[in-house]
Chains A and B, each alone.
Chain A
């Protein structure tokens, strides 16, 4: 398959799969989804509980406290949503790539590089009106994010190079390049740790509820999710994404634009991750410093997988992980539980979110034997 095949075969046989529309709520599907989400989460909570017991804590008490700290009152919800904002972006970035059938694990790199780009631009747009300054920073971030995804995207589309490994490698390349750029060019004078200058005030994203940190970036994220939800269901390219993601060879045989889909998926993923980095730089950190991205890119992968690329699921997942991060940080202050508990929960969810648990298969086999048809072994 060295070139995109043309489907002019003479016979009018091209068949495009049309999803069968069922009316009403599909309870079976909801049940499957719930099972799919519940198993990894419950196992992660159990492993976290074991860790807490080893540390001499009451797991249920701690979990209750985490929920209380995450959603207890307005200020806490504000903190939770602030922590969720970058995760919505990275989750969406991962979801859009996975939907098109490419595993982009380089969102982390896009996010960080875009953060640097936005911070650097933001420090130099002091004279501009806020709207223009913020737009300039976001565009810089989007371009930076796409730049990180560009080489793996080209390699994947034209040379069929496995994008998982190349994007993973690009994370490290980007990390090194960022450290070099910050050290050599953008270091703020008189700072102990290596970070850039603060962005100009006009480039800061305005807070939504002033004492809290929640910025207008959250609104950008929600708008983006809504756009994604409509685009996936209602656009031609969105349909092609699903088809190519589900069955790439079949899609290319049907004349769907496989290369366009792969390229768009990678670049859009980089761009969304980049926008997330820019928003994080302008809305929360106000500069770029070491440890800018707290594994947001990888958490985003876990969220996208748990949500099965569903837009609402991405938002819910991002809020859940955001709550965990925000509450974990505050609980750590007055009880002696290390923040690493969050890593344990998150990593376990990530490991198991892609696992297929055998019980549905067992049930199907039972149903078949009830119907009297033996499964063909």
Chain B
């Protein structure tokens, strides 16, 4: 029971962590990315098509990530170059993507909703020989796929990039004070586009993880609000890589708990699903409250 919950939590966390880290990068550059949902959907769709077409899961991962990156770049260009409100663009973007994917599914593939190929390649899971039989440790470390390990590597790499590289520092500067950064000659719009593209890339990989790692098929509603949970996660983790990833872990733990406990009743699954969003509102309220105290102390 514990092993299966741990396993499921980590499995469901991978798409969330990837998308949320992408959102965190974009947030650090000063843009709230509402379009993660759509970018995940693009990644999942292209990932399934490419992997089924070529018979290789690796091509699927690459194609899904690339498609997500292109989608992220397009959305970012509308935000930066046409100076449009990021929230509205993100909401519109999600609607467009859902429309395009649904349209293509129905006209080109003649299916409504679910797309399943007979010999769909999946991302292979890596069993670690010595560890996989140890009760809890085995569930944590063994039987995970490449994208899981990519997440593990990505977190410290991102921390390092933000702290020590020219790109990371300039991106953070853009996010904190865009006019000040621009006045120092930093190409803030370009940095935001880079961050948006990276966000799309990671969200696309998150979609691939969902399609090729978790379910093995494509459904137009398969993201089911995970992009918004990812948004909740990077708000909860204040856009820092490790806390963001831990928030994802928390949310996916709720999710797997709800899947495993579905039969035993108790608290409604519908209410459990609202927990990530309630957590975000609580965090926002707390941030606002401490900010208020800080401001009034300065005033005194």
Q: Is the CB of B99 within 8 A of A341?
A: yes
CA separation between A357 and B99, bound complex, in Å?
24
CA separation between A305 and B289, bound complex, in Å?
31
Q: Is the CB of B91 within 8 A of A356?
A: no
Give the residues in chain A near B296, CB-CB below 8 Å: 2
Cβ-based interface call for B147 (8 A): no
Cβ-based interface call for B2 (8 A): no
Q: Is the CB of A351 within 8 A of B295?
A: no
Q: Is the CB of A340 within 8 A of B102?
A: yes
Nearest Cβ distance between residue B196 and chain A, in whole angstroms? 14
Give the interface residue-count category, chain B. Answer: 35 or more
Nearest Cβ distance between residue B254 and chain A, in whole angstroms? 12
Q: Is the CB of A155 within 8 A of B92?
A: no
Given the interface pairs A347-B94, A348-B92, A355-B78, the reply to whether A173 lies near B288 with Cβ below 8 Å is: no
Q: Is the CB of A155 within 8 A of B288?
A: yes
One of B93, B103, B277 near A338 (C-beta < 8 A): B103
CA separation between A152 and B281, bound complex, in Å?
9
Closest to B98 in A: A343
Given the interface pairs A168-B228, A342-B99, A355-B78, the reply to whether A176 lies near B273 with Cβ below 8 Å is: yes
Q: Which chain B residues numbered 197 to 243 have a C-beta less than 8 Å away from chain A?
A: 225, 228, 231-232, 235
Q: Is the CB of A159 within 8 A of B292?
A: yes
Name the segment of A244-252, A274-282, A295-303 touching the other chain: A295-303
Q: Is the CB of B103 within 8 A of A351?
A: no
One of B103, B108, B291, B299 near A160 (C-beta < 8 A): B291
Cβ-based interface call for A179 (8 A): yes
Nearest Cβ distance between residue B278 and chain A, in whole angstroms? 6
Q: Is the CB of B281 within 8 A of A173?
A: yes
Q: Is the CB of B107 within 8 A of A54?
A: yes
Closest to B106 in A: A338
Cβ-based interface call for A350 (8 A): yes
Give the residues in chain A near B285, CB-CB below 8 Å: 155, 159, 161
Q: Is the CB of A169 within 8 A of B95?
A: no
Chain B at the A interface: SS class = helix
Chain A at the B interface: SS class = helix
Q: Is the CB of B107 within 8 A of A338?
A: yes
Q: Which chain A residues numbered 163 to 217 have a C-beta less than 8 Å away from chain B?
A: 164-166, 168-170, 172-173, 175-177, 179-180, 183-184
Q: Is the CB of A356 within 8 A of B274?
A: no
CA separation between A51 and B104, bound complex, in Å?
8
Closest to A295 in B: B95
Q: Is the CB of A352 within 8 A of B102?
A: no
Cβ-based interface call for B52 (8 A): no
| Residue from the set B100, B231, B287 with the largest chain A CB neighbour count within 10 Å | B100
Cβ-based interface call for A344 (8 A): yes
Cβ-based interface call for B181 (8 A): no
Q: Is the CB of B232 within 8 A of A169?
A: yes
Cβ-based interface call for B150 (8 A): no
Q: How many A residues face the partner with a CB closer than 8 A?
A: 58
Q: Is the CB of B292 within 8 A of A2?
A: yes
Cβ-based interface call for A374 (8 A): no
Nearest Cβ distance between residue B233 and chain A, in whole angstroms? 12
CA separation between A151 and B228, bound complex, in Å?
19
One of A180, A295, A336 near B268 (C-beta < 8 A): A180
Name the segment of B62-70, B81-89, B183-191 touching the other chain: B81-89
Closest to A172 in B: B277
Cβ-based interface call for A87 (8 A): no
Nearest Cβ distance between residue A216 and chain B, in whole angstroms? 30
CA separation between A51 and B93, bound complex, in Å?
16
One of B87, B96, B231, B268 near A344 (C-beta < 8 A): B96
Cβ-based interface call for B119 (8 A): no
Nearest Cβ distance between residue B77 and chain A, in whole angstroms? 10
One of A105, A160, A177, A350 near B95 (C-beta < 8 A): A350
Closest to B267 in A: A180
Cβ-based interface call for A78 (8 A): no
One of A55, A336, A340, A354 near B88 (C-beta < 8 A): A354
Cβ-based interface call for B159 (8 A): no
One of A164, A338, A340, A351 near B78 (C-beta < 8 A): A351
CA separation between A305 and B92, bound complex, in Å?
12
CA separation between A161 and B292, bound complex, in Å?
10
Q: Is the CB of B88 within 8 A of A353?
A: yes
Given the interface pairs A155-B285, A161-B287, A343-B102, the reply to whether A298 lies near B95 with Cβ below 8 Å is: yes
Closest to A151 in B: B281
Closest to A51 in B: B103
One of B84, B100, B228 near A351 (C-beta < 8 A): B84
Give the residues in chain A near B103, CB-CB below 8 Å: 51, 55, 338, 340-341, 343-344
Closest to B79 in A: A355
Interface string of B274-300 (1 = CB under 8 A from A): 100110110011011101100110010
Give the residues in chain B near A354, CB-CB below 8 Å: 84-85, 88-89
Give the residues in chain A near B270, CB-CB below 8 Å: 176-177, 179-180, 183
CA separation between A353 and B95, bound complex, in Å?
14
Q: 20 pairs across A/B with beta carbons < 8 Å? A: A54-B107, A103-B87, A159-B285, A161-B284, A162-B284, A169-B232, A172-B273, A172-B277, A173-B278, A176-B273, A176-B277, A177-B270, A298-B91, A340-B99, A340-B102, A343-B103, A346-B95, A347-B94, A351-B89, A355-B84
> Which chain A residues have a beta carbon within 8 Å of chain B's beta carbons?
2, 47, 51, 54-56, 103, 105, 151-152, 155, 158-162, 164-166, 168-170, 172-173, 175-177, 179-180, 183-184, 295, 298, 301-302, 305, 336-338, 340-358
**Extra A-B contacts (8), CB below 8 Å, given A338-B107, A354-B85:** A2-B295, A55-B108, A56-B107, A168-B228, A342-B99, A351-B78, A351-B96, A355-B89
- Which 4 A-B residue pairings sit nearest by Cβ, starting from the closest? A343-B99, A159-B288, A347-B95, A350-B92
